[in-house]
Amino acid sequence: MKQLLIFFFFANLNLQAQNSSIIDLADEAALKNFDNKKALQILEEAIKLDSENPEILWRLSRAYVDLGEHLPTSTDAQKEEQIRFYQKSLDFAERAVKINSSNQILQSMSITRRAIALGRVALFKGVWESLDLVKKIKDDCEKAIKLDKTNATAFYVLARTHAKICEKPKLVRYPLGLSWANLDDAVKFFKKAIEIRPTFIMYKLDFARTLVDLDDFKNAKEQLYKIQYLPTEDEDDDQYRKEAKLLLEKIKSK
């Protein structure tokens, strides 16, 4: 019996080491080389070996969103393929959350990935046709932040949620149960995300857009100007730089 326990102990150690190596490879493909297809292939093989590993599951959720965002959507068939990717992302995130890891940082990220997948589904279907999803996104972000106050992604998604909902007047939002959204909170959460991750271009760009909505052109220009000098950390950063430059030009005289 003792020998059997020792065998399982070392087998588990070997699986953990193997998973760690696989995760490193997937992160390198996704975050350094921006090769989401390769990351997905790596993770799909990994999940066959360890189907209940939340580290792998939330990364699978990330891969499906990152790939889905860049799919063509000209035809109904292409749109159906995109929503399939987002639904797969949501399914993997749900599995990661349900495992309920005792590691608070890991659980926070799993919940955040669920919020992101829900957001993609909501945007696809139409935010105002998906009010139940919007409320779940807010709840998930708040849960994720409570678990990990250094989770920049959760702060950013929560900020975006506030900003998106505020596109409609409060009078319209109130009967829908969305009166909680406000641009002051959006600003607060954008600032927190940027404080944690100051060089991430997407955070600054969306923060600047919210500042423009508030007619705070001085601070918006400051954010947009900095973007041109930040390092590339996302596959879409070149596009974000172009958008920042256009917005800066648009508000330069304000």
Q: What's the mean pLDDT in 127-147?
A: 93
Q: What is the pLDDT of residue 4?
A: 36
94 burial class (0-12, 13-18, 19+ CB within 10 angstroms)? middle
Cα angle vertex 35, ends 31, 38, to 5°? Answer: 115
pLDDT value at 143 more than 90: yes
- Please indicate whether residue 35 or residue 254 has the higher confidence score (pLDDT): 35
Q: Which two tokens stand for residue 142?
A: 């708040």
**For 55-67, how does the pLDDT look when each residue is reduced to its tens digit (9 = 90+)?**
999 999 999 999 9
Tokens 């909680």 -> residue? 180
Distances, alpha carbon 103 to alpha carbons 97, 141, 149, 209, in Å: 12, 17, 14, 35
Cβ neighbours of residue 102 under 8 Å, at least 6 residues apart? Answer: none
Q: 176, 131 in Cβ contact below 8 A? A: yes
Q: Exposure string (b/e) for 39-66, b if CB count within 10 Å is 16 or more?
A: bbebbeebbeeeeebbbbbbbbbbbbbb
Q: What is the pLDDT of residue 11?
A: 41
Distance, CA of 206 to CA of 191 (rounded, Å): 11
Q: What is the pLDDT of residue 18?
A: 58
Q: What is the pLDDT of residue 8?
A: 33
pLDDT value at 14 more than 70: no
Q: What is the pLDDT of residue 9?
A: 33
Distances, alpha carbon 252 to alpha carbons 72, 126, 213, in Å: 34, 32, 15
Distance, CA of 242 to CA of 225 (rounded, Å): 12
- Please indicate whether residue 6 or residue 195 has the higher confidence score (pLDDT): 195
Q: Which two tokens stand for residue 143?
A: 């849960």
pLDDT value at 108 more than 80: yes
Q: What's the mean pLDDT in 110-121?
A: 97
pLDDT value at 169 more than 80: yes
Q: 64, 120 in Cβ contact below 8 A? A: no
Q: What is the pLDDT of residue 237?
A: 98
185 burial class (0-12, 13-18, 19+ CB within 10 angstroms)? middle
Q: With bands split at pLDDT 50, 70 and 90, how would you rate the model's confidence at 127?
A: confident
Q: 194, 184 in Cβ contact below 8 A? A: no
- Please indicate whether residue 3 or residue 242 has the higher confidence score (pLDDT): 242
Q: What is the pLDDT of residue 83?
A: 96
Half-sphere exposure of residue 34, counting CA atoms within 13 Å on the CB side? 8
Q: What's the mean pLDDT in 22-49?
A: 95
The whole-angstrom distance between residue 226's C-alpha and the CA centroid of its chain comes to 22
Tally of CB atoms within 10 A around 209:
19
Distance, CA of 112 to CA of 153 (rounded, Å): 7
Q: Which amino acid is at 133?
A: L
Q: With bands split at pLDDT 50, 70 and 90, how would you rate the model's confidence at 1?
A: very low
